[in-house]
Amino acid sequence: MKFNTKYLPLILFATLAFGVLLGGLLNFPNASRLMGDNNAKNKLNKLIDFIDKEYVDEVNTDSIVNLTVDNILAQLDPHSVYISPSDQQEVVESMQGNFVGIGVNFYMYKDSVAVIKPVENGPSAKAGIQAGDRILYAGKTKLYGRKLPSDSLFSQLKGTVGSQVELTVYRKTTKQKLKFKIKRDVIPLNSIDVAMLINATTGYIKINRFSETTYDEFMRGLGKLKKQGAKSLVIDVRDNGGGYMEEAIAIIDELLPDKQLIVFTKNKNGKVTKTFATANGQFETGKLTILINENSASASEILAGAIQDNDRGLIVGRRSFGKGLVQREMPFADGSSVRLTIARYYTPTGRSIQKPYAKGKEAYFKESETRFENGELYEKDSIKVADTLKYKTKKGRIVYGGGGIVPDVFVPIELEHSSQSAGYILQSGIMGNYVFEDLDSHNKEFKGIAYTALQEKINTSDNYFNKFQRFILDNGLDIQFSKSKSLVKRFLTAEYARQLFGENKYYEIILKEDSMLKEALKLK
């Protein structure tokens, strides 16, 4: 069971490289005449034109333009970014909440496309594709043994609604090659992982991002929970990096009484736009708690700030990321776009929660790592917020601006101080890949296993914990889990449950010992 260690950087804190600077002296004939006026905007166009027409070697001027755009945006703020045409489609699909395809979750395992699980009621599930199947061909295109890049692979499986693709599949359990004709359809990309009851009267909703469908998903989940008897609500936006502000505002409107301020924005000209709650929200009364952590950002912080400032509920967890900038996506003709910061947003008390970025992008995005090192993730007293950034809620409670939402109830990270790397592993897809490979290798052992029997199997000994530890070490990651054994075992059990029984069972196990949720349930 191997994975390529070149992907290890994906589990570390992200840092952004600065764009390449164009430089050097160019020797053009009659340069002064060719340059014309000295307008800075014209310089860039003419420079690219000069290179295209006169430079001694063939140069891909499109790539130079992209580097130039990246470098220009690097001089602004960390969230103004260029999105290439190849990345744009993925961004659009993620934020619109669906795509057209065959409906499988897959994993590239030993150069073959291994199905982790077909999407429930999706085209592949209806056709008979099963977990563990290897997709060998899409039509006549060979998919195994070729080390295909992800974009090439996706292009074979995606298409237009109603288009048909014939898949050739190897089923390991029966050692058969099978053919399936599958009609592509719209596949949802859910932004809400789960909406479930935690106890007889408390509902729990986990939002992973704010996409075009999040409000509708939220309302379906809230409606279901109310029918089941929910009188209190916990909304979990931990590790939610944001998305569409409008979707967050629509959800907040369901939680706040009429005419309460939700958020306001201010642009470069000083124009202020305020957004207020309207009447007839579906959960304007009843206990409300928001869970946040150091990776909750942007729209998640709008939600937490509005609830905190209006004294509608309490915020539980750790200080949020600190992104108070509003972006607008602006398209180019080639399919690329620039996501440009156009305003700052403020919570109802007037707080800007944008953390400083004057030291550059690398320091900005590594600030979360700094919080770990300085102890902030373990002790509330380690949070450094200037007294000059104090604000008061409607009831006179003190809240702070200047770098994220500071929770009302602090809950430390569950990892030991020396176990930061274990946290990276738990947040990455490595554990999911390991569990898939183990289930694939021992499918007879797990076939037909009951949910309770699975939990006993994983937890009654350290056998599965030790196997996962060996897997990590064998793949070149010098990470020891001994100080986080109970936490790792919980996540392992939950991942086995997810792949065998679905998302709800995963959260049943994870949330049972979740320290933040326990604190939320203590609140009156």
Q: Which of 64-78, 172-186, 235-249, 321-335 has the lowest mean pLDDT?
A: 64-78
The pairing of beta strand 112-118 with beta strand 104-109: antiparallel
Q: Which of 410, 418, 388 is nearest to 400 (CA)?
A: 388
**Confidence at 30, pLDDT banded by 50, 70, 90:** very low
Q: Residue 143 pLDDT > 90, yes or no?
A: no
Q: State the pLDDT at residue 227.
A: 97
The C-alpha atoms of residue 115 and residue 439 are separated, in whole angstroms, by 12
In contact, 228 and 254? CB cutoff 8 Å: no
The C-alpha atoms of residue 199 and residue 517 are separated, in whole angstroms, by 12
Cα 48 to Cα 35, 64, 66, 71, 288: the distances in Å are: 12, 8, 11, 15, 56
Q: State the pLDDT at residue 283.
A: 97
More confident position, 234 or 162 = 234
For the four alpha carbons of 493, 497, 503 and 505, in that order, the dihedral sign comes to negative
Average confidence (pLDDT) over 110-121:
84
Q: Residue 334 pLDDT > 60, yes or no?
A: yes
| Per-residue pLDDT tens digits for 437-471 | 899 888 888 988 999 999 999 988 999 999 999 99
Cα–Cα–Cα angle for 371, 377, 381, nearest 5°? 95
Find tokens 């108070």 and name the residue.
Answer: 324
In contact, 162 and 188? CB cutoff 8 Å: no
Average confidence (pLDDT) over 83-92:
77
More confident position, 384 or 500 = 500
Residue 258 per-residue DSSP state: T
Q: How many other C-beta atoms are found inside a 10 Å radius of the C-beta of residue 478?
A: 7
Look at residue 197 and give its three-state secondary structure. Answer: strand
Q: State the pLDDT at residue 32.
A: 41
More confident position, 83 or 215 = 215
What length does the chain have? 524
Q: Which of 224, 325, 350 is nearest to 282 (CA)?
A: 224
**Confidence at 150, pLDDT banded by 50, 70, 90:** low
For the four alpha carbons of 166, 167, 168 and 172, in that order, the dihedral sign comes to negative
Average confidence (pLDDT) over 149-168:
79
For 406, half-sphere exposure in the C-beta direction (CA atoms, 13 angstrom radius) is 22
**Full 3-state SS string of 492-503:** HHHHHHHHHHCH
| Mean pLDDT, the chain, whole residue set | 84
Find tokens 């994983």 and name the residue.
Answer: 458
Residue 124 per-residue DSSP state: H
The neighbouring-strand residues paired with 210 are: 243
The C-alpha atoms of residue 510 and residue 524 are separated, in whole angstroms, by 23
